[in-house]
Chain A
Amino acid sequence: MGVGTFFTSKLDEAIGWARKFSIFQYPFVTACCGMEYMATACSHYDVDRFGAGLPRFSPRQADVLFVVGTISHKMAPVLKRIYDQMCEPKWVVAFGVCTCTGGFYNNYATVQGIDTIIPVDVYIPGCPPRPESVIDGLMKLQDKIAAGVQRY
């Protein structure tokens, strides 16, 4: 009994380690947070050193959905469809306070938090969040990826 679970848990850890350092993100960029996303992804605050440097511009090839910027009600069905098109295992990062709770756009046009539509794993508040916050959120996501049950 002990030996079998030792191997599978070590295998789980290894796969978790590999998954967390090879994040293929789909940057679903809509608004101002996109500028901070660009700043985080580029040379000053590089995310490539976390293995998250290659954005896949197709949801079918991505595993982390970065929802960056305000989602309006017109855009919400598109977001849901993109989320549905991604394959398991997938994670969602709500980047920016507009995606966490709607931000200060408490009006007829804005979704008050994307967790009303899709499940979210990491929330990065800020308007826009500084790149240091983004990297903090990314590292929390990595912990979540590594700690979760790995299905393969």
Chain B
Amino acid sequence: MDGSAILARLRGRLGARVLDTHEHHGDHTAVIAPEGIVDALRFCRDESDLGFDMLMDLTAVDYLRFPGREDGPRFDVVYHLYSVPHNHRVRLKVPVEQDAPSVPTATGLWPIANWLEREVWDMYGIRFDGHPDLRRLLMYEEFVGHPLRKDYPIERRQPLIGPNV
């Protein structure tokens, strides 16, 4: 199915909850409000001619230092979906505010979302409501902070044992 047709279907289904769509460099993207994302994902998965049965990736971007978005919502949670039967892709983005950032979980739709959301929690501090087991995936439990945020300096050391070099 053509990318713009996919975006049109999404707009048709979600209406005003689709905040923006664009097609940069051939990647069809829809920006969706947080309260509509689970509906959008379920629609993408279950609708037969969309057929997005694979959640390829779930990640986040911190726009704290992005020129032009300093006062906008700080984070974007990005979902990359792929359809095995139809061989098409779409990207969904959810803008998330800085204070108490949270998004509804996609674990009920795809089991892989469990680990991908844990990683986003670990690296960015974005909570996923309804996630069965939201704990850190890559860093150790005692780690303080969320390392991929732009205000976490890369050279800050928090060793478990050994000197702080």
Interface residues of A (CB under 8 A from B): 73-74, 76-77, 80, 106-109, 111-112, 116-117
Interface residues of B (CB under 8 A from A): 139-140, 147, 152, 154-163, 165
Do B159 and A111 touch (CB < 8 A)? yes
Question: Which B residues touch A77, using CB under 8 A?
Answer: 160-161
Known contacts A108-B155, A112-B165; A74/B147 CB under 8 A: no
Do A76 and B159 touch (CB < 8 A)? yes
A106 to B156, CA, bound (A): 10
A81: min CB distance to chain B, Å: 10
A111 to B157, CA, bound (A): 9
Question: Which A residues touch B160, using CB under 8 A?
Answer: 73-74, 76-77
B130: min CB distance to chain A, Å: 28
Do A107 and B163 touch (CB < 8 A)? no
Question: Which A residues touch B140, using CB under 8 A?
Answer: 73-74
A73 to B163, CA, bound (A): 11
Of the candidates A106, A107, A117, the one whose C-beta lies within 8 Å of that of B161 is A117
